[in-house]
Chains A and B, each alone.
Chain A
Amino acid sequence: RETFVGDQVLEVTPKNEDQIKNLLELEAEEDLQLDFWKSPTTSGETVHVRVPFVSLQAVKVFLELQGIDYSIMIEDVQALLDEEKEEMLLNQRER
């Protein structure tokens, strides 16, 4: 089973077309294994991207260098998945 320990989901807000272009370049970088939940579209529109733990540093540095605003939407994806799994197990026991 794939785990997502330490993976984060970032909410990124590109301010202009150049920043969207930067994000599209980032999306094309297959080595980073980014999972875009909401892809870059227009400026001001938020982008949601799951970043594997191993790529976090590189991605954050990239965003900061380009001056692209971002915040952490999900701190640890695996923690949420564990909660979800526990909830399902609990429900199965109730049934």
Chain B
Amino acid sequence: NGNFNFETYHTLDEIYQEMDHIVAEHPGLVSKVNIGHSFEKRPMNVLKFSTGGNKPAIWLDAGIHAREWVTQATALWTANKIATEYGKDAFITSLLDQMDLFLLPVTNPDGYVFSHTSNRMWRKTRSRVAGRACVGVDPNRNWDAGFAGPGASNKPCSDSYHGPSANSEVEVKSIVDFIKSHGNFKAFITIHSYSQLLMFPYGYKCSKSDTFDELNQVAQQAAKAVESLYGTKYRVGPICSVIYQASGGSIDWAYDYGIRYSFAFELRDTGRYGFLLPAKQILPTAQETWLGLQSIMEYVRDHPY
């Protein structure tokens, strides 16, 4: 009803209601696209920002790891910003005049609900396999990119369990199928928290990608933009050689699939709360993240391929 508080954490139902509200308020710009459902049959809803036609597109997702609550909150704030400032903000207007934007605020809805109702520290999906005691798969180890390689666990009880096979998680498969069927994504950005990192491929191997120099330059620029607001410092680099080795990750899959501009954000860390970042930090986190996103999306818009 228009009084949604973007500066607090919300349940999945509240987030979905607000997504519907954003669509209702901006029918010519924003629509809801259902790309599938989760293991427990919750809808996977994407907000599509489009001024019409079939334009090249940018993909943004948040909250693939359920407990990283500031990411879902940041995504929703971002959705509202884009919707309300189209036609007023020069960058948003020019971006959406040239490209479409798809934003998935809650990539792991089952995990998100579970983190609200049962275990605030839950990270994985909620999939079950008969005869297996432990529940869930780390959905950011489940993509078809060096699947089951280093930096992922083969133990079902581990928080970084890669799952029985690539794309075994319906949440991951839904995104993969959607991106393949769309066929014209030019950028893939995933939002995580916390550690203040901006990463690009590769994670499953430690060799440089063919476009290392370009991705590094784009990421460095974006990190500077993030820092410009509140002085939040990010470290920048490929997942493996600069940060840690992790196989089966989404941006590696996107990059190998041909989406050159693939990045992963790890949002802010106060050094004290981790995933329990107080709600009063949502707004500054979202605001500074927007500057980084804008920097990347500006580059993507101006460097078509």
Contacts and interface: CB of A to CB of B under 8 A. Distances in A.
Interface of A: 1-2, 4, 9, 11, 30, 35-39, 41, 48, 50, 73-74, 77, 80-81, 83-84, 87-88, 91, 94-95
26 contacts: A1-B119, A2-B118, A2-B119, A2-B120, A4-B120, A30-B155, A35-B159, A37-B275, A38-B195, A41-B243, A48-B274, A73-B271, A73-B272, A73-B274, A74-B274, A80-B276, A81-B276, A83-B278, A84-B9, A84-B278, A87-B8, A87-B278, A87-B279, A95-B3, A95-B4, A95-B5
A1 B9 contact: no
Contacts of B3: 95
Interface string B25-62: 00000000000000000000000000000000000000
Which 5 interchain pairs have the tightest Cβ spacing?
A: A91-B8, A2-B119, A41-B244, A80-B276, A37-B274
Contacts of B230: none
A37 B4 CA distance: 30
B157 interface: yes
Contacts of B278: 83-84, 87
A82 to B, nearest CB: 10
Contacts of A84: 9, 120, 276, 278-279
Contacts of B10: 88
B273 A1 contact: no
Given A2-B118, A37-B274, A91-B279, 17 more contacts: A1-B117, A2-B119, A4-B120, A35-B121, A37-B275, A50-B121, A73-B272, A74-B273, A74-B276, A84-B278, A84-B279, A87-B279, A88-B9, A91-B5, A91-B8, A94-B5, A95-B5
Interface of B: 3-5, 8-10, 117-121, 155, 157, 159, 195, 243-244, 271-276, 278-279
A81 B120 CA distance: 8
Contacts of B5: 91, 94-95
Interface of A is mostly: mixed
B276 A77 contact: yes
A23 to B, nearest CB: 13
Most interface-central of B8, B117, B155, B278 (chain A CB within 10 A)? B8
B117 A88 contact: no
Contact of B244 (A1, A39, A87): A39
Contacts of A88: 8-10, 279
B243 A1 contact: no
A17 B9 CA distance: 39
Nearest to A77: B276
